[in-house]
Structure 1
Amino acid sequence: MPISTRIFEKKKVSVGSVRLENGETLSQVEVAVEAAGREPEADGSNIVLVCHALTGDAHAVGDQEQPGWWDGLIGPGKSIDTNLYHVLTLNVLGGCGGTTGPASTNPATGQPYGTDFPVVSIRDMVSVQKRCLEKLGIRRVEMVIGGSMGGMLVLEWGILYPTFARKLVPIATAAALTPTAIAFNDIGRQAILTDPGYQQGSYYPGSGPVQGLAVARMMAMVTYRTPQLFEKRFSRNLQSGRSVIQPDSLFQVESYLRHQGKKLVQRFDANSYLYLLKAMDTHDLGRNRGGVETALAAIEAEVLVVGIREDQLFPVQQQRELYTLLKNLGKKCELLEISSEYGHDAFLVEYEKTGPRIRQFLDQGLNGAGIERRIS
Structure 2
Amino acid sequence: MANCSSARVASHAALASHAALAPIAPDSTTHVRAGVVRSSIRFDHLGARSVSIAYEAQGPAGAPATVVLGGISAGRHLAPTASDPSPGWWPGVVGEGAALDPARHLLVGIDYLGGNSEDGLLRPVTSHDQARAIAAVLDELGIAAASIAGASYGGMVALAFAELFPARVARLVILSAAHRTHPMATAIRSVQRSAAELGVATGQAARGLALARALAMTTYRSTREFEERFESGPLSVGKPGQSPSYFPVEQYLNARGADFIRRFDTERFLALSESIDLHATAAASLLPRTSLVSFDTDVLVPPWLVDELAARSGRCPRHITVPSIFGHDAFLKEVDAVATLLEAGIPEVVR
With normalisation by structure 2, the TM-score equals 0.85
1:112-162 CA deviation, whole Å, 9 max, x = no partner? x3xx53421111110121122112211111x10111111111111221111
1:233-252 CA deviation, whole Å, 9 max, x = no partner? 1121443xx34777452111
Partner of residue 79, structure 1: 99
Contact preservation (8 Å) 1:72, 1:349 = no
> Quick one: distance in 2 between partners of 1:238 and 1:4?
54
Partner of residue 34, structure 1: 56
- Which residue among 229, 233, 239 is the counterpart of 2:229? 233
1:222-270 CA deviation, whole Å, 9 max, x = no partner? 000011111111121443xx34777452111101000000101001121
- Which residue among 56, 62, 76 is the counterpart of 1:58? 76
- Which residue among 7, 14, 21 is the counterpart of 2:44? 21
> Quick one: distance in 1 between partners of 2:96 and 2:202?
43
Report the alpha carbon displacement of residue 323 of structure 1 after superposing the two structures with TM.
2.2
Contact preservation (8 Å) 1:3, 1:76 = no
Alignment of 1:99-248 (within 5 A): 102-106=115-119, 113=120, 116-141=121-146, 143-196=147-200, 209-239=205-235, 242-243=236-237, 247=242
- Classify the secondary structure of the residue corresponding to 2:36: strand
- 1:342 matches 2:347: no
Change over 3 Å in CA distance of 1:245–1:223 after alignment to 2: farther
Report the alpha carbon displacement of residue 77 of structure 1 after superposing the two structures with TM.
1.6
Partner of residue 20, structure 2: none
Partner of residue 259, structure 1: 255
Report the alpha carbon displacement of residue 105 of structure 1 after superposing the two structures with TM.
2.4
Report the alpha carbon displacement of residue 51 of structure 1 after superposing the two structures with TM.
1.7
- Classify the secondary structure of the residue corresponding to 1:25: strand
> Quick one: distance in 1 between partners of 2:162 and 2:106?
20
Partner of residue 65, structure 2: 47
Change over 3 Å in CA distance of 1:35–1:311 after alignment to 2: same
1:182-218 CA deviation, whole Å, 9 max, x = no partner? 001011110011114677xxxxxxxx71011000000
Contact preservation (8 Å) 1:167, 1:362 = yes
- Which residue among 52, 60, 68 is the counterpart of 2:88? 68
> Quick one: distance in 2 between partners of 1:33 and 1:274?
22
Partner of residue 22, structure 2: none
Partner of residue 336, structure 2: 352
Contact preservation (8 Å) 1:192, 1:198 = no
> Quick one: distance in 2 between partners of 1:237 and 1:5?
55
> Quick one: distance in 1 between partners of 2:270 and 2:30?
37
Equivalent residues, number: 321
Partner of residue 8, structure 2: none
- Classify the secondary structure of the residue corresponding to 1:74: coil
Change over 3 Å in CA distance of 1:7–1:250 after alignment to 2: same
Highest relative contact order (Cα 8 Å, sep 6+), 1 or 2? Answer: 2
Partner of residue 14, structure 2: none
> Quick one: distance in 2 between partners of 1:55 and 1:176?
20
- Classify the secondary structure of the residue corresponding to 1:133: helix
Partner of residue 35, structure 2: 11
1:59-102 CA deviation, whole Å, 9 max, x = no partner? 232347211111210112211122211100111221xxxxxxx3
Change over 3 Å in CA distance of 1:167–1:7 after alignment to 2: same
Contact preservation (8 Å) 1:38, 1:85 = yes
Contact preservation (8 Å) 2:150, 2:173 = yes
Contact preservation (8 Å) 1:34, 1:89 = yes
Contact preservation (8 Å) 2:28, 2:103 = no
With normalisation by structure 1, the TM-score equals 0.80
Contact preservation (8 Å) 1:145, 1:169 = yes
> Quick one: distance in 2 between partners of 1:198 and 1:40?
53
Report the alpha carbon displacement of residue 357 of structure 1 after superposing the two structures with TM.
2.2
Change over 3 Å in CA distance of 1:352–1:198 after alignment to 2: farther
Partner of residue 369, structure 1: none
* Aligned residues with identical type, % of pairs: 28
- Which structure 2 residue ranges, 5 or more long, are not aligned? 1-24
Report the alpha carbon displacement of residue 178 of structure 1 after superposing the two structures with TM.
0.7
- Partner amino acid for 1:105? E
Contact preservation (8 Å) 2:173, 2:346 = no
